[in-house]
Amino acid sequence: MIVRTDCTLLFILLLLWPTTIAAAATGLNAKPNCPEKCGEVSVPYPFGIGENCALNNHFNLVCNHSSSSPKLLLGTNIFVLEISVENGTILASIPTANRCYDGLGGIVNSTDIGYDVGDGPFRFSDTKNKLTAFGCDTLVFMSDANESFYSGCLSLCTAETNSVNTTENFCSGIGCCQTPLPKSLKTLSISLDSYYNHTKIRNFKPCDYAILADETFDISSLKLQPGSEQEEFIYSNATIEWVVNEERCETSRNSADYACGNNTHCNYSENGQGYRCLCNHGFQGNPYLGCYDIDECKDPKYKCEGSCKNTFGNYTCRCPFGMYGDGKIDCRGFRITTIVIVVVAIIFTVIVGVLMFITCKQRRKERNFLRNGGTILKHQRVRIFSEAELDKATKNYDKSRFLGEGGFGSVYRGVLSDDNNTQVAVKKPKEVDNMLQIDQEFEHELGIVFQVNHRNVVKILGLCLQTKVPLLVYEFVPNGTLSHLIHDKSSQVLKTWKNCLRVGAEIALALDYFHSLASPTIIHGDVKPSNILLDGNYTAKVADFGASVLLSRDKTVMVTKIQGTFGYLDPEYLMTGILTEKSDVYSYGVVLIELLTGLRPGSRIASNNNERVNIVQYFLSSIEDNNLSQILSFEVADEREMKEVEIVAELAAKCVSSNGVKRPKMKEVAEELERIKKLHEDSLRAQEHGAENVLGERELSLNSNLEYHSAAMIDQSDNQTVISFNSASYHSM
């Protein structure tokens, strides 16, 4: 009996041998003389269309030609879209269940649905498919034909979200619900119901849907429109898993109906019992017809660094002459030709790389130039420096050329390659995540700044637009900042009242120019000693416009971010965020107090237990207590000079009034200081010529148009803590 069985198996194999060899050699996907497609759908063996084309009746599919395009059917209502031999799956188009109500809650249309993949080795995939219901009062149930299980889910909407979003490819949980499928499911029935009685509910969402779909299906492609007329069925995509036989490999391998062809092996399905066939490593084709050898030497995905030779189910690879190792993995050593090729390739790569670097750098400069407004600015009276020109001037921003640093970036001294070896100060911005881009407002601001021409304002000479953020080029001011001059104990410049008065008046003239003569008005926004520079003659020059704003005459501006330095900031600006001309007046008043006293905001006073003090309040108290002479940072020559100091002190007190309305305008401050400076100079000339002091006390009194207001100020204990600082202060090294 055993011998006869073996002989029968051998006889069958001999009969199938020519067909198998022919199929494997040609790489056919179907049996010879059998259709390979139904419409656009490929039909690989073990499936087939027609007599003797499928492995058995379970795999015999129907190609329906009744419609305009042929449809491949599995059962009665399952349309096959794709068959995967390798994955053992069928992608199928199946109808969905739906139910619609009229405006009174009555059911107009109700379509339950059932699926049956037959008695063959087919099952709905439990891992790829989900049952999804859409509706605002939707109960969806599913079960198999034997009613061996029941499952489902409930979908509800709140009154606020009484709508179902069917345009998104996911279920959010509002107006929809999902439930997975059990394993080994061959039949499936889906029905819809509701939890509430809708004959009593008005304005209820008209339609419910129950959709069985796999994970790759785009639910939004259904374009469900609840309430509109729909076709009888709407179709979705679902995955059906199949095995070629529902027995184990060990059992089938020695039987006549073993489905795997030559050069194959079988593996098991995770969804029910049974096996599938796969080609062995080194072979390809349809494993149910027999797999053929792959020529690995012609397939680039198989690695070989040397001489390749195809073998049955594999290949060999020998390393090139002079090299050793496994050619499939790595060959070591070098050949002369390889060295020559490598050297030539390296040289070529270096040349190409250098050319690309130069080209990219040039293009980057051009892009930065255009992005930073170069097209507009180059037609204005603005000197445009190249990046290379400033690199050379600063010796590539060498440390020896470093002048100072602020929130905006660093400042370097540069020497231009012109006939005069002009010295400049180059402001190099920091690299930040969101690089500054010059928009129309910044271009307009630059146009204003370039037109500023005042002896007490640092002159901007030009800018470089080839960098990510423009580099600004200013005239070089050699004697550092006013802050350094005030607090440098060895400096004698500000030890006389004459120089203190002159510097204070020059600063006032610059701010008056910004407020009264510039159009539109410039609000500096960060007036402080470190932003005031002194040239070779110790003439004061106001610098740094990083916090400046432009505004129309007699207007204010509300800022989104407070900028400036604590101790010098207008308290009204701090509380309201509104920046006005009087904000600069307050900051100037603090600078004038620092110039008179030599004290920084937040300084420690030894006589007061070494505690930090508010210098504004300290200064105002000294005036009220007639102790002004005790806090001055310079020597007063005579009573007349002391009278001048007292008048200037009263003027500073007005500038730091807590009420901005009571502060004088910068024009009034500048005119008053110029008047006092002229009286001082006339007095000195009179003394030099031995004349009597004919200047009356009336001339030394404070201008009657300026009232004195003393007010307690907010505590400014932090010593020059910078909030936002967009430009750098600098001094000579």
Could you give the residue numbers annotated as active site?
526
CB atoms closer than 10 angstroms to residue 76: 10
Cα–Cα distance between 164 and 383 in angstroms, integer?
63
For 339, counting Cβ atoms within 10 Å of its Cβ (0-12 exposed, 13-18 middle, 19+ buried), the class is: exposed
Reading phi first (left if > 0) and then psi (alpha if -120 to 50, else beta), residue 479 is in alpha
- Which three-class secondary structure state does DSSP give residue 339? helix
Which helix (H) or strand (E) element contains residue 505? helix 497-512
For β-strands 292-293 and 314-318, DSSP reports them as: unpaired
> 359, 381, 88, 112: which is closest to 233 by C-alpha?
112
> 209, 220, 223, 217: which is closest to 236 by C-alpha?
217
Distance of CA 687 to the CA centre of its chain: 70
Distance of CA 301 to the CA centre of its chain: 37
Judge whether 245 and 252 are in contact, CB under 8 Å.
Answer: yes
For 527, counting Cβ atoms within 10 Å of its Cβ (0-12 exposed, 13-18 middle, 19+ buried), the class is: buried
202-225 burial: b if 16+ Cβ within 10 Å, else e = eebbbbbbbbbbbeebebeebebe
Cα–Cα distance between 668 and 120 in angstroms, integer?
102
> 655, 634, 636, 635: which is closest to 644 by C-alpha?
636
In total, the chain counts a number of residues equal to: 733
- Which three-class secondary structure state does DSSP give residue 64? strand
Instruction: For residue 57, give both structure tokens.
Output: 């009746």
> 148, 205, 141, 123: which is closest to 177 by C-alpha?
141
Cα–Cα distance between 503 and 673 in angstroms, integer?
10
Cα–Cα distance between 166 and 161 in angstroms, integer?
13
Q: Quick one: DSSP state of residue 515?
A: I
Instruction: For residue 126, give both structure tokens.
Output: 């439990």
Cα–Cα distance between 638 and 649 in angstroms, integer?
17
- Which three-class secondary structure state does DSSP give residue 648? helix
Q: Quick one: DSSP state of residue 702?
A: P
Instruction: For residue 634, give both structure tokens.
Output: 């310079």
> 504, 568, 585: which is closest to 713 by C-alpha?
568
For 439, counting Cβ atoms within 10 Å of its Cβ (0-12 exposed, 13-18 middle, 19+ buried), the class is: exposed
> 98, 309, 298: which is closest to 209 by C-alpha?
98
- Which three-class secondary structure state does DSSP give residue 149? coil
- DSSP codes of every residue in 5-53: HHHHHHHHHHHHHHHHHHHHHHT-SS-TTS--EETTEE--TT-EESTT-
Helix segments in 204-335, DSSP class H? 249-252
- How far lies 195's CA from each of 153, 161, 300, 621, in Å? 11, 18, 61, 81
